[in-house]
Each structure stands twice: as structure tokens, then as C-alpha cells.
Amino acid sequence: MAKVFQANEIKNVAMLGGSGSGKTTLMESMLFECGVIKRRGSIEAQSTVCDYFPVEKEYGYSVFSTVCNLEFGGKKLNIIDCAGSDDFCGGTVTALHVVDTAAIVLTCNGGVEVGTQNNFRLAEKAKKPIVFVVNKCDHENANFDRTIETLKDNFGNKVCLVQYPVNAGAGFNAVIDVLKGKMLVWKAEGGAPELKDIPAEEAGKVEELLSALHEMAAEADEALMEKFFEEGTLSEEDTIRGLKVVFAEAGVYPVLCACGAKDMGVRRLMEFLGDMAPAVADAPKPQTVDGKEVTADAKAPASMFIFKTSVEPHIGEVNYFRVMQGTIHNGDDLENIDRGSKERISQLYSVAGSIRVPVDEVAAGDIAATVKLKDTRTGNTLNAKGCENQYAPIQYPQPRYRRAIKPVTESDAEKLAALLTRMHEEDPTWIIEQSKELRQMIVSGQGEFHLRTLKWRLENNDKMMVNYEEPRIPYRETITKAARADYRHKKQSGGAGQFGEVHLIVEPYEDGQPVKDTYKFGNQEYKISVKDQQEINLEWGGKLIIINSIVGGAIDARFIPAIVKGIMDRMEQGPLTGSYARDVRVIIYDGKMHPVDSNEISFRLAGRNAFAQAFKEANPKVLEPVYDLEVFVPSEIMGDVMSDINGRRGMVMGMETEKSFTRLKAQVPLKELASYSTTLSSLTGGRATFTMQFNSYQLVPADVQEKLLAAYAASQTEEE
């Protein structure tokens, strides 16, 4: 029977790092050292435990975050291996939500890259302590000193060496462990190192680095500080105790060395995480949506948070969870507090990538998986009777790349929608929208590679052939001056007829803008007296203001809602491009009705046509969505990025320098951002990243409006 680990024995860690940093290979060695696998697989042979999905084998990249439950040195290490590409940052955000420590892997030959920066920012935002792992110390171009220099340049003096390689490069096989005061030497096959005394020529450097560790450890509490001042040094035990406190508060970023491919430094890394990473019992307590702190008490009523859902080969839907409190057992009946449904836990698994081992129970703080839940989604909370905890859903970054998607066979549209909904469950950063306005199904994600992966899975796993195309832009229409129109709807064809006449004024609207007493068109003045005002917040943004200025009962009040419906008909299809209209004030000031023939349909048609005529006379303009764009780019190539933004009708709003990177802020029309992620990657060799968020609607330039009007006119002709 598997051991049930308690909250003081469990360390939850996210393994982060940019593309090519070697996390998956490093994890393979960890699994091997813990006895989970008998031999280490490789990415080239498509045999790693973490990259087991068909799409990952095809690309040779991690696509999904992978949970690995490891036991080492009497501790439970739950390590979530996250994909390196920024396109799959959703998995990183998910992992950081449920772990207590971040291990950021970088290479000894590449140093700090944009992926390192991105992961650091995400970990810092999540308020997780960070340890750096310098991997690939055996690379022929390894330069450890330069790597440390870039770490300190970017992340400051909190960067502190616990280890450094003696012979980084092709012959790498030894590191100096400052904390242990020993040199670790590996045989060619890696594994357990031989501990040797530190060579005399390294003694001075070790003493200097050890002193820095002692100083940081001494800051943990007054007793250690006193001891350090009195004795000038600290024992390894005291140093670990002090560093543990400082590390948990993100006061130090320890640096360790490894060569994952050769299984060197792997045992020491796991030992260090077991010693240094905060156990669940010592980490900040998670909170419920109402702000209540939840203690990882194994004896409390059970409560678990579903952080990941995956549809896996030969199994089906697998739900990954963290036990927030209590203990989960096989056969437990739980309530899904988000959906109001009941669930039975049929089987619990300890997982290591594609390997799943059945277990009988999982205690507070631990991470595991279950299957065959009927009505549970990512972000849901499951509770035992007597527990009412509910945890906030994970907040994901805004999408950065959009495409319209449609099946090659039109009759498959409904099936495609169901498949995309399922895929959103697996990766919530795939956003699916059936746009009534654009008459397209829009899929959004973090980049071109992200959406290419979605397409590959649809076509190869589900045999659903699809096409991508550039999505239409949700333009808006508005007016720029006041105009007046009237329209009489009259129809007589035996029996009761139809009659309705509406006179109205339209003008542009801004919040707080007063209604004038008098409007003048030509040589005629129109006096306005506000009888009633209606403010409609349009579901597509902006407002429609209706002013009833009817005097003398020219139109009965019961017909006003019909007139408003007619106006809304035209607001939903502007005359210029057929786009939604917004920010218009309509003053209904006169009209006529017939005692017998007037009815709602008559006034709806009269209102619609009067509004359409006035709108066309009010110098209508097309508005386009403009987005705030924030680009994080190495400073030496910022000029190329800025030139590209200017070429996209963008306006640079400001720049901030962060060490060797520049944060560039701009406003760019959505139309010009359709393939921006691809262009930016090409311009910068994948070294830049960006975020985008809707800002506002702004008038398009005259030449752009002319093209849009011509295109719309041509499309209308084709439809006829």
C-alpha cells in the first residue's frame, strides 16, 4: 500500500523554462532516479514520460503541462513540468496556481532569454519563491560565468550560487557545492556523485560564496544573525534553516547546476528542493472566494480543486486536482459546488506523466488525478458533506492570435463546435466564440503555434479537417453631426391598413452631453422639450439614447417602444458596412397616427426608415477596434519592432527599460494585428513576447473607410 504523505512532507513545484532549456529531459532523469522508470527516454526517440501526447511526439515540443509525483529522501515532490513555448503559457499559469515553488531552468550556453524573463514574471506575479537551475552544463558553448552575469543583470543581487561547475563544457562532470562544502564528481553514466574535498585552488571562491549564503541565511531571524556575528560563520544545518525562511519570502534566488541529459546534478536538485522548498504546511494558505484561509488539515472535511482536465490516449477524460483540505478516498461522494451536481470518486491515481498508479487515498496538500467524473470542469471545487469551500477560477492571459475556423465539410459544424468546447476544457487559453456579428466561429489563442497545435489535434486525433482564415473585424458605425429625417409608412390593401409617421433628429452622443433646446436644419428651427429619456447600453458597446419630445399627442406613448425597436433594427446593421452602430442620440419630436390603421408594425417600420435616412445624412463614419499592445523585446532589436508597429498604423505610447530588455507600449488597430505574433517572432528570432488588450473604438482613416465601403458594396452586389 502506497504511503499517504502529509502536508509537512509534500513539496509542490512548477518546473519552468523557455523552449530548449531541457526541462523534459531533466524530468526524465528525475523519474529515473526515483525509480519511477527503469530507463530514461529521449525526445528524439519520442519515448519520454512527460511528452506522451501524439502532438508532442510530432513536434518534439512539450504542449501540455505534465504532473509528476515523485518520492525522494522521505519527501513527496509533486513537480509540474510546463511547456517551454510562450504560446502554451496557460499551463504555466495553471501550475503556478497550485504549487508553492517555481524552479526556472535555463541553459549554460544561452543564459537569460525571453522565456526565462516570461517565466520569472509569471512566478513573481504568483508570489512564488524561485530557484534557478542552470542546465546543459556539458554544452560545447557553455559559459557559466556569463550565465550568472545575465541572471544578476536581470534579477539583481538576490541571485545566489549554491553550486558552480568546475569544468563547464564538453567534458563537464563536476560541480562545487558551496552549501555542502564538497566537490561532486560524476562518472560518465551520471547518477549518484562521488563527494570529494574542494580543491585548494577553489577554496577562496567557495569561502566568498559561502559567506554570501551565510549573510542571507542570517537575515532569517535574530538568533541566526547573532550567531553569525559572533562566530563569523554558520553550520550547514543553520544555513539551510535560515535560507529556507528567506527563500520562502522570495528574498534569495538560489542557483544550482545540472546536466539532465547525462543525469548529473539531478539527485542534488531533488535533495535541495526537499530541504529548501516550502512544504504545503509552511506555505501561504490558499483562500476561498470569500477570503477564508484554508489550512491543509488532513482531518478536516475534504475539499479539492480541479486545476486541469485532459483527454488522454486510451483513457478518456482525466481530472487533475489538489486536495485543499481533508483526505480524498476511493468511493467518496462529493458535491461540485460550482455546478450543483454530485460526483463519486471511482478511482484515484498517483501520476508521473503517462504513468498512473492507483492509490486508495490522497491527503491535504497533495496532487493527484481521477477519472470518470460526469459533470466537473477545470476550475471547479468538489467538497465533502459539511464543507462549503469554493475556490476562485484561474485567471488566464488575454489571447493574442485569432483565426476564423470552419470544417472542410459544412455539415460537420456542430461536431466541430463540440470538439472545440472539449479542447477549451483541456487548455482554457484556447478561446472559442460563435460570433453572430461576424457570422464566423472564432478561435483565439496565445500565438500561431498554439492554434496550429489545435488544428493538428483536430485533424489527426479527431479526423476533423478544418480551415483557418483571417477573421472579419468587428467594425462599428457612428455619426459625426446632427441630422433630421421623417418617414411615413402607409399601406392600404383591403380591410385594416397600416399607417405610421415618425419625425426624428439624430446626433452623436457622448456621456454627459446635454440635449439642446433648439436644433436648426436649413432655415427651420425645431424646439425640443424632453418628456422622457431612455438610455440603452448596447450589448456590442456604446449607447443609444432615446429622447421622447412628442407634444400634443401626435404619437401615442404606446407606439414609442415600436419606434425604438425599428431604430434598433438599423443600429444592428449600419448603412456603411452593415456593422453595429453605437453612440447615437435620437430625438423623436413629431409624427402622425391614424385612429384605425396605426399599429406597432407601422411605427416600427416608420422608425426604422426615418432613422436610416437621418443616419446617412449625419456624416456617418466607421470605427475600428484599437488594442493596447505591450511588447517585451531585447533592447538591441527594439528599433526593428518599433518600425514594424509604425507600419501597422500603430502609435507608440511609451517605453520602459528593464535591464537588457525594453517594454514598448503602443496602440494598434486590430486589423493590423492579425498575424503579429508570427511577424514578431520572425523579426526577433523568437526573443520577444507581447500582450494585447482591447482599448477603444476609434475612427478609421478616410482611405481605409473608402476601401471598407467599396468592399461592403461589392459583397452586397454578390449576394443579390
Cα–Cα distance between 97 and 442 in angstroms, integer? 28
Nearest alpha-carbon partner for 611 in 575, 574, 570, 578: 570
Q: One fold for both 401-472 and 622-704?
A: yes
Cell 492507483, located at residue: 358
- Which tens digits make up the pLDDT trace of 245-264? 999 999 999 999 999 999 99
* Paired residues of 327 in beta bridges: 363
Q: Which residues contact 297 (CB under 8 A, 6 or more apart)?
A: 7, 325, 326, 364
* Residues 6+ away with beta carbon under 8 Å from 210: 178, 179, 181, 233
Instruction: Using CB atoms within 10 Å of the CB of residue 338, give its burial: 0 to 12 exposed, 13 to 18 middle, 19+ buried.
Output: middle
Arithmetic mean of pLDDT over the chain: 92
Taking only Cα atoms into account, the Rg of the chain, rounded to an integer number of angstroms, comes to: 32
Predicted confidence (pLDDT) at residue 504 exceeds the cutoff of 80: yes
Indicate if the pLDDT at residue 54 is higher than 90: no
Sheet holding 466-469, edge to edge: 431-435, 440-445, 401-407, 466-469
The answer to whether 22 and 138 are in contact (CB under 8 A) is no
Q: In this structure, are strands 194-196 and 253-257 parallel, antiparallel, or unpaired?
A: unpaired
Q: Are 419 and 462 in contact (CB under 8 A)?
A: yes
- Range 450-467 average pLDDT: 94
Position 139 pLDDT exceeds 70: yes
Percent residues over pLDDT 90 in the chain? 76
Can you tell me the mean pLDDT for 73-97? Answer: 94
Architecture of domain 622-704: 2-Layer Sandwich (3.30)
| Residue 1 binned pLDDT confidence (cut-offs 50, 70, 90) | low
**pLDDT at position 147:** 96
**Domain 303-383 fold:** Elongation Factor Tu (Ef-tu); domain 3 (2.40.30)
Residue 47 reports pLDDT greater than 90: no
Listed in sequence order, the residues at least 6 apart from 128 whose beta carbon sits closer than 8 Å to its beta carbon are 14, 96, 99, 100, 101, 102, 250
CA dihedral 176, 48, 53, 465 (to 10 degrees): 100
| Whole-number pLDDT of residue 64 | 86
3-state helix, strand, coil in the chain (%, to 5): 30, 30, 35
Residues 6 or more apart in contact with residue 493 via CB below 8 angstroms: none
351 class by beta-carbon count within 10 Å (0-12 exposed, 13-18 middle, 19+ buried): buried
Q: What are 86-122's pLDDT values in tens digits?
A: 889 999 999 999 999 999 999 999 999 888 988 999 9
The CATH number of domain 401-472, selected from 3.30.830.10, 3.30.70.870, 3.20.20.220, 3.30.360.10: 3.30.70.870
Q: In this model, does residue 152 exceed pLDDT 60?
A: yes
Q: Residue 713 has what pLDDT?
A: 85
Higher pLDDT, 239 or 647: 647
Q: Which residue has the higher pLDDT, 279 or 47?
A: 279
| Residue 353 burial (10 A CB sphere; 0-12, 13-18, 19+) | buried
Cell 483571417 belongs to residue: 470
The whole-number average pLDDT for the span 493-522 is: 90
pLDDT at 269 over 70: yes
pLDDT recorded at residue 588: 96
Report whether CATH 3.40.50.300 matches the domain 477-619: no
Distance CA 545, CA 582 (A): 10
Instruction: Please state the pTM of the whole predicted model.
Output: 0.86
The pLDDT of residue 718 is 63
pLDDT at residue 559 is higher than 90? yes
CB burial class (10 A; 0-12, 13-18, 19+) of residue 156? exposed
Secondary-structure class of domain 10-276 per CATH: alpha beta
Using pLDDT thresholds of 50, 70 and 90, give the confidence band for residue 51: confident
Sequence-separated (6 or more) residues with CB below 8 Å from residue 321: 304, 305, 306, 307, 328, 367, 368, 369, 370, 382
Predicted local confidence at residue 228, as pLDDT: 80
Give me the mean pLDDT over the 433-455 stretch: 92
* pLDDT bracket for residue 224 (50, 70, 90): confident
**Mean pLDDT of all residues in 482-497:** 87
Cα pseudo-dihedral 246, 247, 248, 253, rounded to 10: 140
What ranges do the domains of the chain cover?
10-276, 303-383, 401-472, 477-619, 622-704
pLDDT value of residue 649: 95
Q: Which of 4-18, 213-227, 563-577 is the least confident region?
A: 213-227
Quick check: 59 pLDDT over 80?
Answer: no
pLDDT at 700 over 90: yes
Q: Which amino acid is at 201?
A: E
Instruction: For 202, list phi and psi in degrees, rounded to 5.
Output: -100, -5
Question: What integer pLDDT is reported at residue 237 of this predicted model?
Answer: 86
pLDDT-derived band at 126 (thresholds 50, 70, 90) equals: very high
Above 70 in pLDDT, residue 719?
A: no
Residue with the bigger pLDDT between 504 and 677: it is: 504
